[in-house]
Amino acid sequence: MKNQRILSGVRPTGHIHLGNYLGAIRQWVRLSQSLSKQGLNEQLFCIVDQHALTTQSDTNNLSLNTYTIAAAYIACGINPDESAIFIQSHVPAHTELAWYLSCIAPLGWLNRMTQFKDKAGKDTGQACLGLYAYPVLMAADILIYKATQVPVGEDQKQHVELARDLAGLFNRHCDVDYFPLPEPLINKSTARIMSLRDGSKKMSKSDLSDYSRLHLTDENDLLTLKIRKAKTDSDPIPDAIKGLESRLEAQNLLGIYANLTEQTLESVCQQFAGQLFSAFKPILTEVVISTLQPIREKIFQLREEKSYLNQILHKGAETANQLANKNLSEIRTLLGLVDR
C-alpha cells in the first residue's frame, strides 16, 4: 500500500463542539491509529489560526482558542508522538504557496464556493479579500505537504475538491506530475451534525445561540440543560428510519446517539420505538456526558500545562516546517523562481 499523508485542521474560532468531534476529530483519531499500525504514520493536524482571521475581528480570544483546540486534539486521542500537531501561522510556507496558487486559480472556480456566499452575507462588496481567498489558503495547507487524504465534515467537501482541482491545474501548468490529488474523507453518518435548535442548520461555531451546540468544554449540568431544551416533536420514536422523514430534529438526536454508541440509526429506532423524546433525552444525556466529560477534563488539565502544550506545538511545527520547506523549494523551482 502506498504511503498516505493525512492533513486536516480546525479553526480556533468560538467553541469547539460535538460536530467538530464527530465530523472531523474522531475520524482523524481512528484513521491515524489504523495507519500507525501499518507503519504509514504521516499525519499532520493543524490549528488553522490564519483562517480564523478571515471571520474574526476580535483578536482577544484567538490565542486562548488556539491552545484550546490544540488541547482538544490531544484530549480526543490524537497522539502527539505519532502526529504533528502545529499552528498554521508557525509554518510560513502555507501562505507562500497560497500566493503561488492564487496566481493560477481561475476566479470562476472561486466564485462557485458556497461557503463564501454564506459567510460574506448579502453585501459581498464589504467582505474581505481573505474570506474570498480562504479556499486557496486551505488548498495550500493541504498541498504544501502533498497530503493524499483530508478527513473533514461535509461542509468542507467543496473546498477539498478545489484543492484537488488546483493540484491538477498546477501539474498541468508546470507540466509535471508533482502534487498527488488529495481526497476528502467524509464519514457519511457524521458528515453533518445539526443544530439542536433547528434541524435544518448544521451545528456551527458561528451560530449566535450557545444552545444550538454541545461544546467539548461544557460542564455536565450545561450539557444536560442543552439536551433538555433541544427542539424535538411530540411524536413517539418510530421503529424504522423511514418514520423520521421530515422530522429533522428527531433524526439529529437519534443520529448523535447512534454515533456515540456505535450503532446504526435503524437499530436505535428499533431500540426506542414507541418512546417519547422526554424519555429518550436523559438516556442521550448520559451517553453524551460519558463521552465528553473525560475530553473536557483533559482539555482543562492540558490548558493548565502550557509549557507541555508549547513543547508539542514546537515539535509539530518543526516537523511541518521541514516537510513544507523542502516542497516549497521544489515548487519555487518548478515555477521558474530563482531559489534562495
Q: Which does 268 bind (CB under 5 to 8 A by kind): ligand AMP, ligand TRP, none?
A: none
Task: Retrieve residue 43's grid coordinates.
Answer: 499525519
Q: Is 32 in the site for ligand AMP (CB under 6 A)?
A: no
Tell which positions 24-53 bind ligand TRP, by CB under 6 A: 48, 51
Closest-CA residue to 137 (of 90, 174, 100): 100
Q: Quick one: cell of 334? A: 518548478
Residue type, 68: T
**279 Cβ contact list (under 8 Å, min separation 6):** none
- Marked catalytic residue, from 146, 188, 202, 229: 202
Give the CA diameter of the chain: 71
Residues 114-143 that bind ligand TRP (CB under 6 A): 138, 141-142
Taking the complex as a whole, the smallest distance from the CB of residue 39 to ligand TRP amounts, in Å, to 24
Count of residues in contact with ligand AMP, rule CB under 6 A? 18
By a kind-dependent CB cut-off of 5 to 8 A, residue 105 interacts, out of ligand AMP, ligand TRP, none, with none
Per CB under 6 A, 230 contacts ligand AMP: no
Chosen from ligand AMP, ligand TRP, none, partner binding at 80 (C-beta under 5 to 8 Å by type): none
The DSSP line for 41-74 is -EEEEEE-HHHHTTT----TTHHHHHHHHHHHHH
* N-term to C-term CA, the chain: 36
Run of H or E residues at 79: none
85 forms bridges with which residues in the sheet?
45
Question: Would residue 298 show up in a list of annotated catalytic residues for this protein?
Answer: no
For residue 287, what are the CA distances in angstroms to 120, 259, 300?
37, 10, 20
CB of 113 vs ligand TRP, minimal distance in Å: 11
* CA atoms within a 13 Å half-sphere pointing along the CA-CB vector of 333: 10
Q: Which of these ranges, 7-15, 119-127, 255-263, 281-289, lies near ligand TRP under the rule CB under 6 A?
A: 7-15
Q: Which does 141 bind (CB under 5 to 8 A by kind): ligand TRP, ligand AMP, none?
A: ligand TRP
256 interacts with, out of ligand AMP, ligand TRP, none, CB within 5 to 8 A per kind: none
**Does residue number 205 form part of the binding site for ligand AMP (CB under 6 A)?**
yes
Residue 146 is a catalytic residue: no
> Residue 319 binds what, of ligand TRP, ligand AMP, none (CB under 5 to 8 Å, by partner type)?
none
- Cα separation, 245 vs 291, in Å, equals 28
Q: In the complex, what is the shortest distance from the CB of residue 24 to ligand TRP, in angstroms, rounded to a whole number? A: 7
Distance CA 2, CA 35 (A): 11
Alpha helix (H) residue ranges in the chain: 18-20, 26-37, 49-52, 62-75, 93-102, 107-111, 114-120, 129-143, 157-174, 220-229, 248-260, 265-272, 277-304, 306-334
165 contributes a contact to ligand AMP by CB under 6 A = no
| Active-site residue flag, 326 | no
DSSP class of residue 194 equals B
- To ligand AMP, the closest distance from the beta carbon of 318 in angstroms equals 24
Q: Counting contacts by CB under 6 A, is residue 182 touching ligand AMP?
A: no
CB of 126 to ligand TRP, least distance (A): 21
Instruction: Show which residues are catalytic.
Output: 119, 202, 205
Residues making contact with ligand TRP (CB under 6 A):
7-9, 11, 48, 51, 138, 141-142, 150, 152, 156, 159
Residues making contact with ligand AMP (CB under 6 A):
10-11, 19-20, 23-24, 152-153, 155-156, 190-193, 202-205
